[in-house]
Amino acid sequence: MQFTNTWFQGHMATWDALVPTYNPSKILEVGSYEGQSICHVIQLMGKVHPLEVDCIDTWAGGQEHAGINMSDVEQRFDHNVAIACNSVSNPVNVVKIKSHSFIGLTHLIAQKKLNYYDLIYIDGSHETPDVLADLVIAFRLLRVGGLMILDDYLWGLGVDAQPLLNPKLAIDSFLNCYQRKIQPHPFLPNYQLYCRKLSD
């Protein structure tokens, strides 16, 4: 496979321990980039049973991707996902939704996929309004008992941090508003947060 970064590698051990306990077969990813995380899930769970995977990304990048050829990134995603799907014994149906996350997520609602997914990974835009919208809509798409993984909780923090240009405020707001409906997994690394959906 072709990956140009190691962003996901530090999370692999946690995913390997946690994701199989949810035994996901229907998976949604918001923000796919080169496909490293979704390829890992495909290789992890595709040996267990067939998978249905939806990936939403503009493949246009954000402010932090200035100078990166996003067309090449998208080609690497396609290449990597094809390898991952061919490496497992069960069929994997990957649908690439090339759009802004708000449009892609509402499109899934229109397809009547409420309470549909076993696992949802949110790793799209880092801008606070975008992240909050992704979380609120994705919550409706996640089945009760399913797992939502929230990436980049501590991204962009520091002395020059701009509150509306990182995910933390959106994630904190989501967790506070939905505290009766979700249960964060305790004692796990908090650069990513892992939440079980308790109710609608």
What is the mean pLDDT, run by run of 10 residues, along the chain of 200 residues? 88 95 98 96 98 96 75 96 98 97 96 97 92 97 98 70 79 96 88 95
Domain count, the chain: 1
2 located within any domain: no
Position 156 scores a pLDDT of: 60
Handedness of CA 113, 115, 116, 122 (dihedral sign): positive
Residue 98 inside a domain? The answer is yes
Single pTM value for the model: 0.93
25 in a domain, yes or no?
yes
Residue 98 pairs in a beta bridge with: 57
Give domain status of residue 4, yes or no: no
30 beta partners: 56, 122
Cα–Cα distance for residue pair 200/193, rounded to 1 Å: 19
- Residue the block writes with tokens 């290449």: 79
Residue 120 belongs to domain spanning:
9-197
Residues 6+ apart with CB under 8 A from 36: 1, 3, 5, 7, 8, 80
Look up the CATH number of the domain holding residue 101.
Answer: 3.40.50.150
Q: What is the pLDDT of residue 49?
A: 98
Crossing angle of helices 101-110/128-141, nearest 10°?
20
